[in-house]
Amino acid sequence: MSTGQSPRAWLEQQPLQASEQLYAIFSSASTAGPPMAWRRSMTVAPSPIWADTPYADWETVMPYVGAVDPDSEFLDWVATTDSLDWGWLAVTACSQQSLAEHLRGLTQVLLPGGKSVFFRFWDGRFIQPILRSDAVEVSQLLPAISRCLINGRSFEIPGNALRPARAFPWWEVPALLLQELAGDTTDCLLNNLLKWLSEEHPYLFEQADESILRCKIRHFLGEPGMVHGPKAPLQEYLMQELGR
């Protein structure tokens, strides 16, 4: 987390209450190696969230939750890592076991058609836009958590109340949320293609104002089969559009 609010600044702004505990939610799937950072700085083992599920032996991608002291060196690692998918910090009055059970209930979620899919709740890049969405009742999704810090951004969860953990899959992903996430993906792809165009084909990039190029690329991405933005067809399309 090289930008945004640091864990210690976040805790100083809103200190832990006597009944609260700070936890880290992270995964072995991140190339930043948060489990290794945990072992270097912590003496208490985290709880594997997929324990007691059919995925209990998936150690290479296992998500974990563990209690963190406010003065822990692990928070120094969180403050300095450039990784955006390592995990995030949460404050709750739950025990570690109870929080693990709540998060275990999000192992899989239901798409609008009823299909169950894995849910990357530990990945800050993935969960952050979900918590920002008006389509999501965050207090229903994360009832055990009162506030969290994800990639330097603080989130409050109003109306939080402890509820029994639920077996997965129980959460139904709102259709509107899927539309919002698809829009975020398109914007990210568009920005990446503009960067590629400016670096690899500056003669095309300089032919029109960036706002015009953005509109043309967005139109291109809306064509059937173009959702992944293949670069060769895009280059040919822009050459035709710009008269090159």
In whole angstroms, what is the distance from residue 222 CA to residue 7 CA? Answer: 40
**pLDDT (tens digit, 0 to 9) for every residue of the chain, 244 residues total?**
546 789 999 999 999 999 999 999 999 989 899 999 999 998 889 999 999 999 999 999 999 999 999 999 999 999 999 998 999 999 999 999 999 999 999 999 998 888 889 999 999 988 988 998 888 889 889 988 999 999 999 999 886 667 788 999 999 998 888 887 776 555 666 777 788 888 888 888 888 888 788 787 777 766 544 444 556 777 777 887 776 5
**pLDDT given for residue 122 in this prediction:** 93
In whole angstroms, what is the distance from residue 141 CA to residue 157 CA? Answer: 10
**pLDDT given for residue 160 in this prediction:** 64
Among 102, 29, 34, 101, residue whose Cα is nearest residue 68: 34
pTM: 0.74
In whole angstroms, what is the distance from residue 68 CA to residue 81 CA? Answer: 17
**pLDDT given for residue 225 in this prediction:** 40
Pairing of strands 116-118, 108-110: antiparallel
**pLDDT given for residue 181 in this prediction:** 78
In whole angstroms, what is the distance from residue 150 CA to residue 74 CA? Answer: 15
Mean pLDDT for the chain overall: 86
**pLDDT given for residue 228 in this prediction:** 47
One DSSP character per residue, the chain reads: --SS--HHHHHHHSPPPTT-EEEEEEETTSTT-HHHHHHHH-SSPPEETTTTSTTTT-GGG-EEEEE--TT-HHHHHHHH---SSSEEEEEESS-HHHHHHHHHTTSEEE-TTS-EEE--TT-HHHHHHHHH-TTS-HHHHSTT-SEEEETTEEEE-TT-------PSS-PBPPHHHHHHHHHHHHHHHHHHHHHHHHHH-HHHHTTS-HHHHHHHHHHHHTSTT-TT--HHHHHHHHHHHTT-
Contact 48, 66 (CB under 8 A): no
**pLDDT given for residue 26 in this prediction:** 96
Both structure tokens of 81: 């890592």
| 26-40 per-position pLDDT tens digit | 999 898 999 999 999
